[in-house]
Chain A
Amino acid sequence: MPKTKFPAVISTFCLCFVFWLFLTWNFTAQEMIAGAVVSLAAALFASKFFIHENAFWLFNPTKLGALIVYIFTFLRELVKANVDVAKRVFGGCKDVNPGIVKVPADLKGDYAQAMLANSITLTPGTITLDIAEQDGKTYYYIHWIDVAETDREKAGELIKGSLEKGIGRIWQ
Protein backbone atom coordinates (compact mmCIF):
# COMPACT_ATOMS: atom_id res chain seq x y z
CA MET A 1 0.00 0.00 0.00
CA PRO A 2 1.62 3.29 -1.03
CA LYS A 3 1.75 6.13 1.48
CA THR A 4 0.02 9.49 1.13
CA LYS A 5 2.50 12.21 0.16
CA PHE A 6 1.92 15.92 0.61
CA PRO A 7 2.80 17.15 -2.96
CA ALA A 8 0.59 14.44 -4.41
CA VAL A 9 -2.31 15.65 -2.25
CA ILE A 10 -1.82 19.24 -3.43
CA SER A 11 -1.77 18.41 -7.12
CA THR A 12 -4.79 16.08 -6.84
CA PHE A 13 -6.58 18.83 -4.92
CA CYS A 14 -5.89 21.36 -7.71
CA LEU A 15 -7.22 18.96 -10.34
CA CYS A 16 -10.38 18.17 -8.36
CA PHE A 17 -11.01 21.83 -7.59
CA VAL A 18 -10.67 22.90 -11.24
CA PHE A 19 -13.03 20.09 -12.20
CA TRP A 20 -15.54 21.27 -9.58
CA LEU A 21 -15.36 24.85 -10.87
CA PHE A 22 -16.00 23.67 -14.43
CA LEU A 23 -18.96 21.57 -13.33
CA THR A 24 -20.70 24.23 -11.24
CA TRP A 25 -19.45 27.40 -13.04
CA ASN A 26 -20.66 29.48 -10.13
CA PHE A 27 -18.16 31.68 -8.35
CA THR A 28 -19.98 32.60 -5.12
CA ALA A 29 -18.06 32.06 -1.88
CA GLN A 30 -20.43 29.36 -0.65
CA GLU A 31 -19.90 27.14 -3.72
CA MET A 32 -16.13 27.62 -3.70
CA ILE A 33 -15.77 26.68 -0.02
CA ALA A 34 -17.94 23.60 -0.47
CA GLY A 35 -15.83 22.64 -3.49
CA ALA A 36 -12.59 23.11 -1.59
CA VAL A 37 -13.75 20.88 1.25
CA VAL A 38 -14.96 18.12 -1.08
CA SER A 39 -11.78 18.31 -3.21
CA LEU A 40 -9.57 18.10 -0.13
CA ALA A 41 -11.41 15.01 1.11
CA ALA A 42 -11.18 13.39 -2.32
CA ALA A 43 -7.48 14.30 -2.61
CA LEU A 44 -6.65 12.81 0.80
CA PHE A 45 -8.24 9.50 -0.18
CA ALA A 46 -7.27 9.23 -3.81
CA SER A 47 -3.83 10.82 -4.20
CA LYS A 48 -1.87 7.70 -3.33
CA PHE A 49 -3.58 5.75 -6.11
CA PHE A 50 -3.52 8.61 -8.57
CA ILE A 51 0.06 9.91 -8.49
CA HIS A 52 3.11 7.70 -8.16
CA GLU A 53 6.05 9.70 -9.39
CA ASN A 54 6.50 13.42 -9.83
CA ALA A 55 3.41 15.26 -8.60
CA PHE A 56 4.00 18.55 -10.41
CA TRP A 57 4.94 17.45 -13.93
CA LEU A 58 2.01 19.29 -15.48
CA PHE A 59 3.17 22.60 -14.02
CA ASN A 60 6.32 22.39 -16.14
CA PRO A 61 5.71 24.62 -19.22
CA THR A 62 7.70 22.43 -21.66
CA LYS A 63 5.66 19.37 -20.76
CA LEU A 64 2.39 21.29 -20.86
CA GLY A 65 3.37 22.53 -24.33
CA ALA A 66 4.23 18.97 -25.39
CA LEU A 67 0.80 17.85 -24.15
CA ILE A 68 -0.98 20.52 -26.20
CA VAL A 69 1.06 19.69 -29.31
CA TYR A 70 0.24 16.01 -28.75
CA ILE A 71 -3.49 16.74 -28.65
CA PHE A 72 -3.32 18.22 -32.16
CA THR A 73 -1.13 15.36 -33.46
CA PHE A 74 -3.62 12.91 -32.04
CA LEU A 75 -6.61 14.72 -33.59
CA ARG A 76 -4.93 14.59 -37.02
CA GLU A 77 -4.29 10.83 -36.70
CA LEU A 78 -7.84 10.38 -35.41
CA VAL A 79 -9.41 12.09 -38.43
CA LYS A 80 -7.23 10.12 -40.87
CA ALA A 81 -8.10 6.78 -39.25
CA ASN A 82 -11.81 7.66 -38.99
CA VAL A 83 -12.03 8.51 -42.69
CA ASP A 84 -10.22 5.28 -43.53
CA VAL A 85 -12.59 3.09 -41.49
CA ALA A 86 -15.67 4.97 -42.72
CA LYS A 87 -14.55 4.33 -46.32
CA ARG A 88 -14.26 0.60 -45.62
CA VAL A 89 -17.72 0.55 -44.04
CA PHE A 90 -19.43 2.42 -46.87
CA GLY A 91 -17.55 0.23 -49.36
CA GLY A 92 -19.59 -2.74 -48.14
CA CYS A 93 -17.40 -4.07 -45.30
CA LYS A 94 -15.65 -6.50 -47.67
CA ASP A 95 -12.32 -4.69 -47.69
CA VAL A 96 -11.01 -5.93 -44.34
CA ASN A 97 -7.98 -8.03 -43.55
CA PRO A 98 -7.87 -8.42 -39.75
CA GLY A 99 -5.02 -9.74 -37.67
CA ILE A 100 -3.25 -9.38 -34.33
CA VAL A 101 0.32 -8.07 -34.40
CA LYS A 102 2.82 -7.96 -31.58
CA VAL A 103 4.50 -4.57 -31.63
CA PRO A 104 7.50 -3.41 -29.56
CA ALA A 105 7.42 -0.04 -27.76
CA ASP A 106 10.21 1.98 -26.20
CA LEU A 107 8.24 4.04 -23.67
CA LYS A 108 9.15 3.93 -19.98
CA GLY A 109 6.73 4.38 -17.10
CA ASP A 110 3.19 3.23 -16.39
CA TYR A 111 1.43 6.41 -17.41
CA ALA A 112 3.23 6.72 -20.74
CA GLN A 113 2.44 3.11 -21.63
CA ALA A 114 -1.20 3.44 -20.60
CA MET A 115 -1.52 6.66 -22.58
CA LEU A 116 -0.10 5.06 -25.73
CA ALA A 117 -2.35 2.00 -25.32
CA ASN A 118 -5.42 4.20 -24.89
CA SER A 119 -4.48 6.37 -27.87
CA ILE A 120 -4.09 3.28 -30.04
CA THR A 121 -7.45 1.91 -28.89
CA LEU A 122 -9.15 5.24 -29.49
CA THR A 123 -7.95 5.34 -33.10
CA PRO A 124 -10.47 3.42 -35.23
CA GLY A 125 -8.89 0.40 -36.89
CA THR A 126 -6.62 -0.59 -34.03
CA ILE A 127 -7.43 -1.98 -30.56
CA THR A 128 -4.84 -2.84 -27.92
CA LEU A 129 -5.56 -6.32 -26.58
CA ASP A 130 -2.74 -6.78 -24.08
CA ILE A 131 0.62 -5.52 -22.88
CA ALA A 132 3.45 -7.95 -22.20
CA GLU A 133 6.89 -7.45 -20.67
CA GLN A 134 9.68 -9.64 -22.08
CA ASP A 135 13.39 -9.23 -21.40
CA GLY A 136 12.92 -5.67 -20.18
CA LYS A 137 11.07 -4.59 -23.32
CA THR A 138 7.39 -3.80 -23.65
CA TYR A 139 5.20 -5.38 -26.33
CA TYR A 140 1.67 -4.48 -27.35
CA TYR A 141 -0.73 -6.97 -28.89
CA ILE A 142 -2.78 -4.92 -31.32
CA HIS A 143 -5.80 -6.03 -33.31
CA TRP A 144 -5.53 -4.35 -36.68
CA ILE A 145 -8.40 -4.16 -39.15
CA ASP A 146 -6.17 -4.07 -42.22
CA VAL A 147 -2.81 -5.80 -41.85
CA ALA A 148 -0.69 -3.96 -44.39
CA GLU A 149 2.64 -5.13 -42.99
CA THR A 150 3.44 -8.42 -41.23
CA ASP A 151 6.92 -7.41 -40.10
CA ARG A 152 6.58 -6.37 -36.42
CA GLU A 153 8.89 -3.36 -36.45
CA LYS A 154 7.42 -1.81 -39.61
CA ALA A 155 3.88 -2.53 -38.44
CA GLY A 156 4.75 -0.71 -35.22
CA GLU A 157 5.90 2.31 -37.19
CA LEU A 158 2.66 2.32 -39.19
CA ILE A 159 0.41 1.99 -36.12
CA LYS A 160 2.19 4.16 -33.56
CA GLY A 161 3.90 6.58 -35.93
CA SER A 162 3.90 10.07 -34.52
CA LEU A 163 1.86 9.13 -31.41
CA GLU A 164 4.78 7.44 -29.66
CA LYS A 165 7.13 10.37 -30.27
CA GLY A 166 4.60 12.85 -28.90
CA ILE A 167 3.98 10.79 -25.77
CA GLY A 168 7.71 10.30 -25.25
CA ARG A 169 8.14 14.07 -25.27
CA ILE A 170 5.47 14.49 -22.59
CA TRP A 171 6.70 11.83 -20.17
CA GLN A 172 10.44 11.82 -20.69
Chain B
Amino acid sequence: MRIVIDILLAVGFIFALAGAKGLLQMPDAFCRMQASTCISTLGVLGVIAGGALYAFFVMGSVATGVKILLIGLLIITINPVGAHAIAKGAYRSGIRPDKEMEIDDYGRDINE
Protein backbone atom coordinates (compact mmCIF):
# COMPACT_ATOMS: atom_id res chain seq x y z
CA MET B 1 0.00 0.00 0.00
CA ARG B 2 2.83 2.40 0.77
CA ILE B 3 4.14 1.91 -2.78
CA VAL B 4 0.76 2.86 -4.32
CA ILE B 5 0.58 5.94 -2.09
CA ASP B 6 4.11 6.98 -3.05
CA ILE B 7 3.38 6.57 -6.75
CA LEU B 8 0.23 8.72 -6.49
CA LEU B 9 2.11 11.43 -4.59
CA ALA B 10 4.93 11.35 -7.17
CA VAL B 11 2.45 11.73 -10.06
CA GLY B 12 0.92 14.70 -8.28
CA PHE B 13 4.31 16.31 -7.77
CA ILE B 14 5.32 15.79 -11.41
CA PHE B 15 2.21 17.53 -12.72
CA ALA B 16 2.53 20.30 -10.15
CA LEU B 17 6.13 20.79 -11.31
CA ALA B 18 4.95 20.93 -14.94
CA GLY B 19 2.34 23.53 -14.00
CA ALA B 20 4.86 25.67 -12.13
CA LYS B 21 7.39 25.52 -14.96
CA GLY B 22 4.72 26.46 -17.48
CA LEU B 23 3.55 29.30 -15.26
CA LEU B 24 7.04 30.82 -15.44
CA GLN B 25 7.96 30.12 -19.04
CA MET B 26 4.85 30.24 -21.22
CA PRO B 27 4.82 33.12 -23.74
CA ASP B 28 1.62 35.00 -22.80
CA ALA B 29 -0.96 35.39 -20.04
CA PHE B 30 -3.55 32.96 -21.36
CA CYS B 31 -1.06 30.17 -21.99
CA ARG B 32 0.28 30.65 -18.47
CA MET B 33 -3.23 30.10 -17.15
CA GLN B 34 -3.53 26.94 -19.21
CA ALA B 35 -0.37 25.57 -17.65
CA SER B 36 -1.57 26.44 -14.16
CA THR B 37 -4.69 24.24 -14.61
CA CYS B 38 -2.29 21.28 -14.56
CA ILE B 39 -1.55 22.05 -10.90
CA SER B 40 -5.16 22.27 -9.86
CA THR B 41 -6.32 19.11 -11.62
CA LEU B 42 -3.96 16.16 -11.74
CA GLY B 43 -1.44 17.76 -9.39
CA VAL B 44 -4.00 18.21 -6.65
CA LEU B 45 -5.92 15.02 -7.46
CA GLY B 46 -2.80 12.86 -7.22
CA VAL B 47 -1.81 14.31 -3.87
CA ILE B 48 -5.42 14.09 -2.61
CA ALA B 49 -5.74 10.44 -3.64
CA GLY B 50 -2.41 9.60 -2.03
CA GLY B 51 -3.30 11.46 1.15
CA ALA B 52 -6.73 9.84 1.40
CA LEU B 53 -5.29 6.34 0.94
CA TYR B 54 -2.69 7.14 3.61
CA ALA B 55 -5.41 8.30 6.01
CA PHE B 56 -7.63 5.26 5.35
CA PHE B 57 -5.08 2.47 5.41
CA VAL B 58 -1.97 3.65 7.28
CA MET B 59 -3.41 6.02 9.86
CA GLY B 60 -6.67 4.07 10.03
CA SER B 61 -8.70 7.26 10.46
CA VAL B 62 -11.82 7.37 8.27
CA ALA B 63 -12.73 10.89 9.40
CA THR B 64 -9.45 12.36 8.11
CA GLY B 65 -9.73 10.49 4.81
CA VAL B 66 -13.26 11.71 4.14
CA LYS B 67 -12.21 15.28 4.90
CA ILE B 68 -9.33 15.01 2.43
CA LEU B 69 -11.73 13.74 -0.26
CA LEU B 70 -14.06 16.69 0.45
CA ILE B 71 -11.15 19.09 -0.06
CA GLY B 72 -10.62 17.50 -3.49
CA LEU B 73 -14.31 17.83 -4.36
CA LEU B 74 -14.36 21.50 -3.38
CA ILE B 75 -11.22 22.31 -5.39
CA ILE B 76 -12.65 20.55 -8.45
CA THR B 77 -15.95 22.45 -8.27
CA ILE B 78 -14.64 25.91 -7.37
CA ASN B 79 -11.45 26.16 -9.43
CA PRO B 80 -12.93 26.44 -12.97
CA VAL B 81 -15.15 29.35 -11.95
CA GLY B 82 -12.11 31.35 -10.86
CA ALA B 83 -10.09 30.37 -13.93
CA HIS B 84 -12.92 31.43 -16.25
CA ALA B 85 -13.37 34.77 -14.45
CA ILE B 86 -9.64 35.57 -14.54
CA ALA B 87 -9.30 34.70 -18.23
CA LYS B 88 -12.37 36.69 -19.26
CA GLY B 89 -11.32 39.65 -17.11
CA ALA B 90 -7.83 39.59 -18.62
CA TYR B 91 -9.20 39.57 -22.16
CA ARG B 92 -11.77 42.29 -21.48
CA SER B 93 -9.21 44.58 -19.84
CA GLY B 94 -7.13 44.58 -23.02
CA ILE B 95 -4.42 42.00 -22.42
CA ARG B 96 -3.38 40.42 -25.73
CA PRO B 97 -0.60 37.97 -26.54
CA ASP B 98 2.55 39.35 -28.21
CA LYS B 99 2.30 36.91 -31.07
CA GLU B 100 -0.84 37.14 -33.19
CA MET B 101 -3.35 34.41 -32.29
CA GLU B 102 -4.16 31.71 -34.81
CA ILE B 103 -7.89 32.54 -34.69
CA ASP B 104 -9.67 35.08 -32.49
CA ASP B 105 -13.45 34.86 -32.65
CA TYR B 106 -13.98 36.57 -29.30
CA GLY B 107 -12.09 39.72 -30.29
CA ARG B 108 -14.03 39.84 -33.55
CA ASP B 109 -17.41 39.50 -31.83
CA ILE B 110 -16.98 41.89 -28.90
CA ASN B 111 -15.76 44.68 -31.19
CA GLU B 112 -18.87 44.58 -33.31
Q: Which residues of A contact B (CB under 8 A)?
A: 19, 22-26, 78-79, 82, 85-86, 88-90, 92-93, 96-102, 117-119, 121-130, 132, 141, 143, 145, 147, 150, 152
- CB interface residues, B 18-36, toward A, < 8 Å: 18-19, 21-22, 25-28, 30-31, 33-35
Given contacts A122-B37, A147-B102, contact A89 B21 (CB under 8 A): yes
Q: Collect the chain B residues with CB atoms within 8 Å of residue A141's CB.
A: 105-106, 109
Known: A97-B102, A129-B106. A25 touches B66 (CB 8 A): yes
Q: B81 contacts A89, CB within 8 Å?
A: no
A residues near B37, Cβ cutoff 8 Å: 85, 121-125, 127
A-chain residues with CB within 8 Å of residue B27 when the two chains form the complex: 93, 96
Is the CB of B60 closer than 8 A to any CB of chain A? no
Instruction: Give every chain A residue within 8 A of B34 (Cβ-Cβ).
Output: 85, 124-127, 143, 145
Given contacts A78-B42, A122-B80, A129-B87, contact A100 B103 (CB under 8 A): yes
Partner of B41, one of A92, A101, A122: A122
Provide a sorted-by-A list of 23 A–B residue pairs whose CB atoms are within 8 angstroms. A22-B66, A22-B67, A22-B70, A25-B63, A78-B45, A79-B42, A82-B41, A86-B18, A89-B38, A90-B21, A93-B21, A98-B97, A99-B103, A118-B84, A121-B80, A122-B37, A122-B41, A122-B76, A127-B33, A127-B37, A127-B83, A129-B84, A141-B105
Output the residue of A124, A129, A152 with the most chain B CB within 10 A.
A124
